[in-house]
Amino acid sequence: MHMNRREFLQLLAVAAASGMALDSKSALAGKAPANFYEVPRHGNVSFLHFTDCHAQLLPVWFREPNVNLGVGDSYGKTPHIVGQNLLKAYGIKPGSAEAHAFTYLDFQEAAKVYGKVGGFAHLKTLVDKLRAQRPGALLLDGGDTWQGSATSLWTNAQDMVDACIKLGVNVMTPHWESTFGAERVLEIVNGDFKKAGIDFVAQNVVTNDFGDQVFKPYVMKEMGGVKVAVIGQAFPYTPIANPRHMVPDWSFGIRDDGMQQWVDDARANGAKVVIVLSHNGMDVDLKMASRVTGIDAIFGGHTHDGVPQPVKVKNAKGVTLVTNAGSNGKFLGVMDFDVRGGKIQSYKYRLLPVFSNLLPADKDMDAYIQKVRAPYADKLNEKLAVTDDFLYRRGNFNGTWDQLLVDALMEVKGADAAFSPGFRWGTTLLPGDAITMERLMDQTAITYPQTTLTEMSGETIKTIMEDVADNLFNADPYYQQGGDMVRVGGIEYTIDPTKTIGNRIGDMTLKGKPVEAKKTYKVAGWAPVAEGAQGEPVWDVVASYLRDKKVIKGVKLNTPKIVGVGKNNPGIAAYDGSYS
Amino acid sequence: MNALRRNVLKGAAGASAVAVAVAAGLLKPTQALAAAPRSAFEAKNVGDAMKDLGAASPADSKDITIKAPDIAENGAVVPVEVTSAIAGTTMIAILAEKNATPLVADFSLANGAQGFVSTRIKMGQTSLVRAVVTAGGKSYTAAKEVKVTIGGCGG
């Protein structure tokens, strides 16, 4: 669907008139979309921040989760609030454009009204508009930028590298970037990025042998006479969550002692504003902000939480603001500081949804995107099937897209059960949309796509599920890796997220029969982290399944029974299974 | 400069021959370090190992700092640093509690040496990494959990 602004406003009026779940006053009168992007500058030091766009160069649909449970001290706190609870917490009007951007509520209807989100040509227009009012503002890229689409995989990340240079990125920190291999990362950092003046920073990546910094820990910039430092924090668990062999000589980790050292160093060198550009994930950022002193703000990503306003975290010497800027190109964070007398006096923050219908495409960026896609057009546009179902991924336990993947794996591989990683990227499809090769690649485009079929004992299956559940629900954020629960096909189970490792998963059944510890099952999977794994790429397996089915209809979501989280938990709503 | 340092060290093979021999399993830690009795390294549980070290019931101490990853990147080589701020530290031992033989390393320090050791240990599963320190005839301890995970599935 492509509309100009006039058509969009007309549709909005029609939608409201036809009784859709829109607040007609806010959507049509008062704060009309015409001034949606009027964000007057506050103060004199500004940062623009995007993160986790997952290589989506064109506008997409992306549904936010209806399950995002917080455990321990995080229970019911940002970012573990969904739907109406999130709207209430941040005073967002139900039915408004923001409500659509920040929640899953009425997604299908609202998507038709508000249109697609993101896209680098539209983002470029917004960045330029904000920069025009904010001379010297820095554009920060929080990582997970080079991975997630067919074209980024097929161009070895070059399409995104060139797009980020055109967009005007100033500073970046990595996560999935590393899955292109250490050599390729260094080639870009020391080549294209260096030439373009983009700083690639990460204080927590050091060599295995001597602990030397692999990248610059931080960069010092000057804005309107004020010195500002941007410290990088790469995803701490890259060699664990992703293949170790792709970055064999680098060690990561949270390293908050190192963080403290570089904050102090930046302050000693005259920084009046110290920013951390982080790929920790929000819960880890919140804990780090309570332990490390002297950081003014952490601009975070990884956990894909679209958080409307910063969380203020107290520590021994002051307060640190923690943000998280969503994913898939949906949002641009705008942080304005008023710095006077060597100190931050006040701030203003907006997390702006990038509605492609409201932002005309930048011509130059648009032409670049068309050009970079052209050689792959036939492959990208191959129509594999049509979906009658609503296909999305995000959520702690399952999504219909992942269900489709595990269904395909089980059928094609002849497996009893299947595992699919709990990735948080991957776009959304509305009923009636075509499933093209490009949309399938949105869910699967990684550099280790091999599928596997393994004989596993029931005990091993449980161990794996317990291990992943602990990466998600460990009460200490420093032990969380920021993905969602492994998607399980074929096996039904109960989970109590509040328990400890080994005690969360129970009542495992396969076709109604208990999974036996000693019995062997055939389990299909993909994305092996071990070196040398062999197997057909997952997109080929699923593409053959889709071509065969032609129409996807009635995908049955395998949702675990959740216990221990409470009926009134603000982190869960509209759940397909049962919870208590 | 770092590359140069690396090459110099690679060239000086003799300097690292002992470390290589230990890593390759040619030398048992007991032979290389010889601070604790052999029985301590062969003990099958933490209690026996500590008894054999002569530190049967050490007192918990905040003056011992253990630096190790929260989650190991590779269970086969987990970097562990122990700093003892206790005056007169003469021994630092490292135990991985759930290893089949928990005592991993034991260092004896000459009186007046800085209480700091750094090494890499092998861990089969998630476990407390415990440091035991002796100073002035008394023993002290601290522990930190290091998680060993299957990996994969990161968002």
Q: For an interface test with B, which of A254, A461, A467 has the most B Cβ atoms less than 10 Å from its Cβ?
A: A467
CB contact under 8 A, B151 and A464: no
B73 contact residues in A (CB cutoff 8 A) = 239-240, 244, 251-253
Say what the pLDDT of residue A510 is: 97
CB contact under 8 A, B70 and A253: yes
Provide the mean pLDDT of chain B: 81
Whether B11 contacts chain A with CB within 8 A = no
Indicate whether B7 pLDDT > 90.
Answer: no
CB contact under 8 A, A244 and B73: yes
Task: HSE, CB side, 13 Å, CA atoms: give it for residue A207.
Answer: 9
CB contact under 8 A, A241 and B74: no
Q: What's the CA gap between B95 and B132, in Å, rounded?
A: 8
Task: State pLDDT tens for residues B75-115.
Answer: 999 999 999 999 999 999 999 999 999 999 999 998 778 89
Q: What's the CA gap between A22 and A65, in Å, rounded?
A: 20
CB contact under 8 A, A241 and B154: yes
Alpha-carbon distance values, B67 to A241, A261, A286, B78 (Å) = 22, 15, 21, 11
Q: Please, what CATH class does the domain formed by B35-146 belong to?
A: mainly beta
pLDDT, one tens digit for every residue, chain A (580 residues): 444 555 555 555 444 444 344 443 344 323 436 789 999 999 999 999 999 999 999 999 999 999 999 999 999 999 999 999 999 999 999 999 999 999 999 999 999 999 999 999 999 999 999 999 999 999 999 999 999 999 999 999 999 999 999 999 999 999 999 999 999 999 999 999 999 999 999 999 999 999 999 999 999 999 989 999 999 999 999 999 999 999 999 999 999 999 999 999 999 999 999 999 999 999 999 999 999 999 999 999 999 999 999 999 999 999 999 999 999 999 999 999 999 999 999 999 999 999 999 999 999 999 999 999 999 999 999 999 999 999 999 999 999 999 999 999 999 999 999 999 999 999 999 999 999 999 999 999 999 999 999 999 999 999 999 999 999 999 999 999 989 999 999 999 999 999 999 999 999 999 999 999 999 999 999 999 989 889 999 999 999 999 999 999 999 999 999 999 999 999 999 999 999 9
* Averaged pLDDT for residues B51-77: 94
Whether B79 contacts chain A with CB within 8 A = yes
Indicate whether B23 pLDDT > 70.
Answer: no
- Give the model's confidence band at B32: pLDDT under 50 very low, under 70 low, under 90 confident, else very high: very low
Cβ–Cβ < 8 Å for A505, A469: yes
CB contact under 8 A, A207 and B2: yes
Question: Which residue in B has a C-alpha nearest to residue A470's C-alpha?
Answer: B149
Query: Could you tell me the pTM of the whole model?
Result: 0.91
Say what the pLDDT of residue A35 is: 84
Per domain, the residue ranges of chain B are 1-34, 35-146
Q: Which residues, 6 or more positions from B57, have their beta carbon under 8 angstroms from its beta carbon?
A: B50, B139
Domains in chain A: ranges and CATH: 39-60+116-369 (3.60.21.10), 382-562 (3.90.780.10)
Q: What's the CA gap between A406 and A415, in Å, rounded?
A: 10
Q: For an interface test with B, which of A257, A280, A471, A486 has the most B Cβ atoms less than 10 Å from its Cβ?
A: A471
Q: What's the CA gap between A368 and A540, in Å, rounded?
A: 28
Best CA proximity match to A305, nearest among A322, A285, A325: A325
